[in-house]
Structure 1
Amino acid sequence: MKVDLNTSVVKTREQRLGTIIGWKTGKTSDLSRDSAYTCGGCKGNGGKRLCEAIGPFTQGSSCSERMVECQAGEVRDAILIQHSPIGCGTSQVACNSIYRNGLKNRKLPIENMKVINTNIKETDMVFGALEKLEQSIRDAWERHHPKAIFIATSCVTGIIGEDIDSVASKLHEEFKIPVVPMYCEGFRSKHWSTGFDATQHGILKYIVRKSSKKQEDLVNVINLWGSDVFTPILAELGLRVNYVVDMATVEDLEQLSEAAATVSFCHTLSSYLAAGLEEQFGVPEVKAPQPYGIAGTDAWIRELARVTHREKEAEAYIEKEHKRIAPKIKELKKLLSGKKGYAATGSAYSHGLIAVLGELGVQVDGSLVFHHDPVYDNNDPTKDSLKFLVDNYGDVPNFSVSNRQQYQFYGLLKNVNPDFIIIRHAGLASLASRMGIPAVPLGDEHHAVGYQGILNLGETILDILARKKFHKDLSSHVKLPYTKWWLEQRDPYILEKQHYVVY
């Protein structure tokens, strides 16, 4: 990987990683095998890519700009300017709710996001809207005196070719704070995770300090809004946590370069920032499996300890935790014996959750991931979360890639018929409920992390299984919004049969 901080624009995941958002149902081992020689050309192997299942329409998804909104918009002492029509600001409501809940969970002062929308209209499409952008940035400065101002582009600004950089540069010189352009037009990438990269590129280019100072006990934890589970884990090794990007301060972002290492709960989220910190600022990324299940957490702790020279403390912690959780896992396995689970989340996160289900003795016959990254930015094989899953927990026979398409989700669940689903983006949970299947909605993405996370998830599954009769009753009194023909289909990808595209 080569992070180019001479440009404001980050390459999309399709360009860098060969990311896809559709793949017909198959075994995890099949997808892992095909991904081994598939990475969009980044290994210099001719750029062979996976065949992607392209549907004739999309029922719903998200976009890169929203990911910028829910990251840069949630830096506590900064302001986000959405240079877009007002419609692009509708998700501020949902993002603000998540932000406030996250602050409460971390015991931080509760406040609202600070986001200003420039409200681009039809006349602006013709005559340009840079004056609006400049005025919005000045308003943000006068009202809030932030320590940084982020600018998110939109499909509209991309279409008319707004020169965001010129305004950002001018006002940076005037206000003497970072004014950060982030190019995240929704049409730029098929998958919204490119929005994470746009935010992280802006932080690397404009905010992270170029400093030789190091804090040898500080570890960057790239995360979203989850509860503070990493502080007690890292404290066992004598380490401190620097949580970024959501709910961080600008100072937290500035000191990213001073940390001893960088870790995360999810390779998808952290890929670009972790690799960029290592390449540009010499902060080593902990190249290990994700901290889920016993095998993954053991490897994650040991590699972090190796990088920070705390091997003795790590082994003592691992031994202590193994003894603590062993009897509880044994009890949970008995209670969950014979149960079938299904994970429906982002790709790397789903791999981790399936590993936890494996520790609990839950049968996993199927999983839906919303996208698939054949590799991550550092291109290190130890971060191949799909291969780690196959090697340590076996095959998942009905593994699918589909970008949050409800019409496909019905068929995927019908073919597997699980006792419950674990879901991250709750929009699909209501469909499962109407099919009589209860859902574990993981609003706290750290719920299943680490050794305690195995117990957390097991106990939560028992809680929702206790309410299964409610979902069965619901399914007998509702009608799904699909034709009889579609409800009878066995192949959720039948509409894509004539639309396979090889890039």
Structure 2
Amino acid sequence: MQKKINLDISEVQPREQRLGTIIAWDGDIEELHRQSNFAGRAAGCGSGKGCRLCELQGPFSQGSVCSEQMVECQAGNVRDAVLIQHAPIGCGAGQVPYNSIYRNGLAMRGHKVENIRIINTNLGEDDVVFGAADKLRSAIDSAWTRYEPKAIFIATSCATGIIGEDVESIAREKQEEIGVPIIPMACEGFRSKHWSTGFDATQHGILRQLVRKNPKKQEDLVNVINLWGSDVFTPMLANLNLRVNYVIDLASVEDLAKMSEAAATVGFCYTLSSYLAAALEQHFGVPEVKAPMPYGFAGTDAWLRELARVTHREELAEKYIENEHKRVLPRIAELKEKLKGIKGYVATGSAYSHGLIQVLRELDVEVNGSLVFHHDPVYDSGDEKEDSLGHLLKNYGNVENFHVSNRQQYQLYAFLQKVHPDFMLIRHNGLAPLASRLGIPAAPLGDEHIAIGYQGIINLGETILDILARKKFHNSIKAHVKLPYTDWWIKQKDPYILARQNKI
């Protein structure tokens, strides 16, 4: 059984220590699942054979994001709170795209559209030498004066970690003075090799300081852990007479506080929801719905039935499942006919990729390659029903070219040459331009809920048809641009040659 999450300590344990997360691996799903040993790792491994998951070690990183940026896109998206980045100004570069995403998300959910509330302390050389405690105090005062928020989050940075800034003491001092929760989050970029630890850092702070300790339970309320996507869960769960509490992005401080009052917690991606859902169950008695993610028929059926079991709504769920199957099957049959012979590729976060591949195979789209930005061998609950990679393998079969690579564009070229897809699904748009240079149209999935549930199968199929209609445009790009790589690299067949052959 997995260790209980410790909320008594102020800093979250990095994913590579807690879950065994890796950011570089090469093979197929069958072998990765075997090496991951989900059940053995959940039981604590001990001397169990195959518990250690080996990782390829590359000589450099061409580009990625860090844990602090994930705090920026989580805590920075709480509507009536403020996030302070105690960092050099360069760490605030993400405020520009995150502001756009935040405003779009508010519009999609029917909230008042406004700018993101993030303040950067703009650390300089003197601050790194002499400390910047007064700058942080001043930033907290400014946040309170300008916005009067219900809570103030503080994100640490590599700079504050290096100088050993005592952020916790300052947060306690100012919290007593101002009277609202001030939540420090340890998320220095060098703390973890993968950015998903930033999700956990935000969730850890919220669990410690915002979630109600003595909740009054609401039997029809369900926490939905999500990012900024469109509101697909409200109409879906309304069929089970359930209400949705969206967290963390676009939530209010009150929404976060009442998470302990919910009847259950669900998520659209275990990469995002693993830590928060497990901690809500362990510390606040809110059951985590342990089931495959709601992608494709097999996953959505199982997800709805488990949610219904936990909330005692089995008859409503069966009626909804039956009606939805009847509704979507004719359109899915039409999409299958139009997508016959089409080959797709998925390049997203780990668990989300598993879900998207399931939906593509429901549409009979061939998928023999995928890039995931990291891989968690196990999730925090340790329950095998959440083994998303195992669910994909069991219900939809193997993926022969399955690569773990932390958004390394130079490797993506070789990945795509192995499979030659007709299109690509991608979450983080920095890789999409390379696909266009190769004549491959890509769908940047800005609305991460597009493929959720039964309607999601149709949504994704129609999206694919839309981007395939622009194939000629991408072929024109291919004909007129030059790749930014040497002839030597373009000729390489092994995307991980730099990791396997250190002499190079």
Matched, 1:471 2:482: no
Cα separation, 1, equivalents of 2:502 and 2:347 = 24
Q: 1:249 to 1:55 in 2, by over 3 A?
A: same
1:30 aligned to 2:34?
A: no
Aligned 1:58-457 pairs, distance under 5 A: 58-457=61-460
Is the Cα–Cα contact under 8 Å of residues 54 and 499 in structure 1 kept in the other structure?
no
- What code does the residue aligned with 2:25 have? W
- Is the contact made by 1:61 and 1:405 (CA closer than 8 Å) also made in structure 2? yes
Match of 2:16 in 1: 14
C-alpha separation between the residues in 2 aligned to 1:331 and 1:148? 50
Quote the Cα distance in structure 2 between the aligned partners of 1:170 and 1:90.
29
- Asked if the contact 1:147–1:177 (Cα under 8 Å) also holds between the matched residues in 2, the reply is yes
Contact 1:356 1:454 in 2 (8 A): yes
Looking at structure 2, the residues matched to 360 and 41 of structure 1 have their Cα atoms a distance apart, in angstroms, of: 33
Once the two structures are superposed, residues 38-84 of structure 1 have per-residue CA deviations (whole angstroms, 9 ceiling, x without a partner) of 98787142484211111111110000000000110110000001000
Moved runs in structure 1, 4+ residues, more than 6 A?
Answer: 38-42
The whole-number CA distance in structure 2 between the counterparts of 1:139 and 1:317 is 50
CA distance in 2, matches of 1:41, 1:320: 37
| Contact 2:42–2:382 (Cα < 8 Å) also in 1 | no
Counterpart residue type for residue 169 of structure 1: R
Alignment partner of 2:55: what SS? Answer: strand
Whole-angstrom CA distance in 1 between matches of 2:111 and 2:100: 15
Check the 8 A contact 1:448/1:456 in 2, yes or no. Answer: yes
Q: State how far apart, in whole Å, the 2-side matches of 1:8 and 1:452 are.
A: 41
Change (3 A) 1:240 1:120: same
Q: Give the TM-score, by structure 1 length.
A: 0.98
Question: What letter is aligned with 1:7?
Answer: I
What are the Cα deviations for residues 75-134 of structure 1, in whole angstroms up to 9, with x where unaligned?
A: 000000100011100110011110001011111100001111111111111111111101
Q: Which moved further from structure 2: 295-304 or 206-215? A: 206-215
- Please report how far the alpha carbon of residue 470 of structure 1 lies from its aligned counterpart in structure 2 after TM superposition: 1.0
Shift of 1:498: 3.5
Can you list the C-alpha shifts for 1:285-337, whole angstroms capped at 9, x where unaligned? 00000000000000000000000000000000000000001111111111101
Counterpart residue number, 1:4:
6
SS in 1 for 2:324: helix
Three-state SS of the structure 2 residue aligned to 1:473 is: helix
What SS class does the counterpart of residue 3 from structure 1 fall into? coil
**Match of 1:53?**
56
The separation in 1 between residues aligned to 2:129 and 2:9, in whole angstroms, is 27
Tell me the amino acid that sits aligned with residue 236 of structure 1: N
Equivalent position SS for 1:226? coil
Q: What's the RMSD between the two structures over aligned residues?
A: 1.3
Work out whether residues 16 and 40 of structure 1, in 8 Å CA contact, stay in contact via their aligned partners in 2.
no
Asked whether the equivalents of residues 214 and 259 of structure 1 are also in contact (C-alpha less than 8 Å), the reply is yes
- SS of 1:90's equivalent? helix
How many angstroms apart in 2 are the aligned matches of 1:363 and 1:122?
53
Scaled by the length of structure 2, what TM-score is found?
0.97
Q: Distance in 2 between matches of 1:313 and 1:296?
A: 18
CA distance in 2, matches of 1:206, 1:357: 41
Write the distance in 1 (CA, Å) between the matches of 2:375 and 2:401. Answer: 15
Q: Distance in 2 between matches of 1:164 and 1:115?
A: 17
Cα separation, 2, equivalents of 1:181 and 1:483: 45
- What is aligned with 1:488? 491
Shift of 1:173: 1.2
Counterparts of 1:4 and 1:51, CA distance in 2: 27
How far residue 197 of structure 1 moved from its aligned partner, in angstroms, is 0.1
Alpha-carbon contact 1:18-1:39 (below 8 Å) kept: no
> Is 1:370–1:402's contact at 8 Å kept on the other side of the alignment?
yes
Using the TM superposition, give the Cα deviation of residue 6 of structure 1 relative to its aligned residue in structure 2, in angstroms. Answer: 1.4
Q: Which amino acid aligns with 1:457?
A: L
Change (3 A) 1:499 1:297: farther
Matched residue SS, 1:401: strand
| Counterpart Cα distance in 2 of 1:402 and 1:46 | 28
- Residue 429 of structure 1 deviates from its aligned partner by 0.5
Distance 1:460 1:337, change over 3 A: same
Structure 2 segments unaligned to the other structure (5+ residues): none
Number of positions where the alignment pairs a residue of Structure 1 with one of Structure 2: 499
